[in-house]
Amino acid sequence: MKRHFRLGCLVFLLCWLVLASAAAAAERDFVVQGDIVYTPVCGEAKILPQGYLVVKDGKVQGTYAALPAAYADLEKQDCRGQLIMPGFCDLHVHAAQYRQIGLGMDESLLTWLEKYTFPEEQKFSNPAYAERVYEDFAAELAKCGTTRAAVYGTIHRQSAEILAQKLAKRGLGAYVGKVNMDRNAPEYLCETSEASLAETEQFVHAPVWTDLVRPILTPRFAPSVTPKLLQDLGDLARRENLPVQTHLSENKGEIQWVAELFPAIRDYPQVYAHYGLYGTTPTLMAHCIHMDMEQIKDLVRHGVYPVFCPESNLNLTSGIMPVRRFLMAGAKVALGSDVGAGHDLFMPHVIVRAIQVSKVRAMEQPEEKALTLPEVFYLATKGGGSFFGKVGSFEPGYDADLLIVRTPAALADRSVMERWQYFIYHGTPEDITARYVAGRYVR
């Protein structure tokens, strides 16, 4: 009798799992009709008015002017008159600085860190504080249409794990890092080399990771990490095939400091390369402002992603990244909000600022042509999205990360291109009516 009961329970469980799996798959199978905009190539916007975007199992099947008969039975969402575009990818953002946005913007980088950032980050030693801030951060990130992000936590492992859980709960895709600092930081934020490595190893094996939210090694920047810890992290990256994110050549004072701390190594980028943290595994380097052409070419050879953070670079008077030089050299440039030195999580505003600062640079360096909207939109979607795989475009096989965006009725007679331009320059998060990550609706 008991045997039959157990067998019946097992059959019921298997049936339930099959049905649940089928239901989950069905949720990720749909067709959206609307005005489609995406950039499969840097600088070229592909426009499909009243087109169809087909999604199956969370993957883009294609975009069509007329719906193929093979997809006629899929659930249809009528979004005619609205824009359909890829979700935004923010490749450099400090979640722990979310509550210090706009503070201390008259300071330079190193002073700003000491006066504002480090005291705020210490608060994340309290998991309850992390719960509150990271809940708000994840909600705001989703509201702003960011579907993928590379996110910094703090040195506090438990709080960084909470950050990962909050992003996963929202259904967003992210790389999340526990920061490493074992020197040149306030005592309350300075780890020992051994403890920093041990906590990082525990972090990357924590039971918080999902298909969409994964760990990334995060040495804060070379001045705050000892050679021993840099080497240990490089070894860990190779051993576990873990990606890396950090900062590079943001500020001239920082570059001089690195030269003093590592006198035997040629330059700042080579410090990271020396320890296996420069393209040995997928690598993000934020800022990259003060780099010569040889350094840029070397970055490209290593396959490193330079992350352009225009708002923070202006706010902290760090400089303007020579993005055109990187693009001409073949670099895989991404875009970052860099909150909290950046003051806005809404990536369209970051796109606009990127275009504006490139125009300023072009006035001083005419050979560096200003960036265009289709170019920077690419950086904020497919360019940065490629760090996550096939993300940021509507080409077949790409993850179905998408936004549905309304534009004012007064613009109904405008072209799709013009309504897209309007949203980027004058839109708000409230204009985004729906968000999807890998075909799943984000609430």
Kindly write down the DSSP assignment for every residue of 202-264, as one continuous string: HHHTSTT--SSEEE-BEE--GGGS-HHHHHHHHHHHHHHT--EEEEES--HHHHHHHHHH-TT
- Rounded-to-integer distance, Cα 303 and Cα 229, Å: 23
What's the confidence (pLDDT) of residue 443? 81
> Could you state, in order of their start, the residue ranges of all structural domains in the chain?
27-87+393-441, 88-388
**Alpha helix (H) ranges present in 241-346?**
252-261, 268-274, 293-302, 310-315, 323-329
pLDDT at 109: 84
List 286's β-bridge partners, or say none: 247, 307
Which residues have CB under 8 Å from 136's CB, separation 6+? 98
pLDDT over 80 (residue 337): yes
Once rounded to an integer, what is the mean pLDDT over residues 111-115?
92
Give the pLDDT mean for 412-425. 97
Phi-psi region of 69 (alpha: psi -120 to 50; beta: other; left: phi over 0): alpha
Q: What is the pLDDT of residues 43-54, one digit of tens each?
A: 999 999 999 999
The interaxial angle of helices 347-364 and 416-426, nearest 10 deg, is 90
**Mean pLDDT score, 2-27:** 45
Residue 417 has pLDDT above 90, yes or no: yes
- Measured distance CA(91)–CA(357) in Å, rounded: 19
Q: Please determine, looking at this structure, whether the domain spanning 88-388 carries the CATH number 3.30.70.1290.
A: no
Topology (CATH) of 27-87+393-441: Urease, subunit C; domain 1 (2.30.40)
pLDDT, tens only, 296-322: 999 999 999 999 999 999 999 999 999
Give residue 247's region: left, alpha or beta (phi > 0; psi -120 to 50).
beta
Q: Examine the pLDDT at 22 and tell me if it is beyond 50.
A: no
Q: Of residues 232 and 109, which shows the higher confidence score?
A: 232
pTM of the model as a whole: 0.93
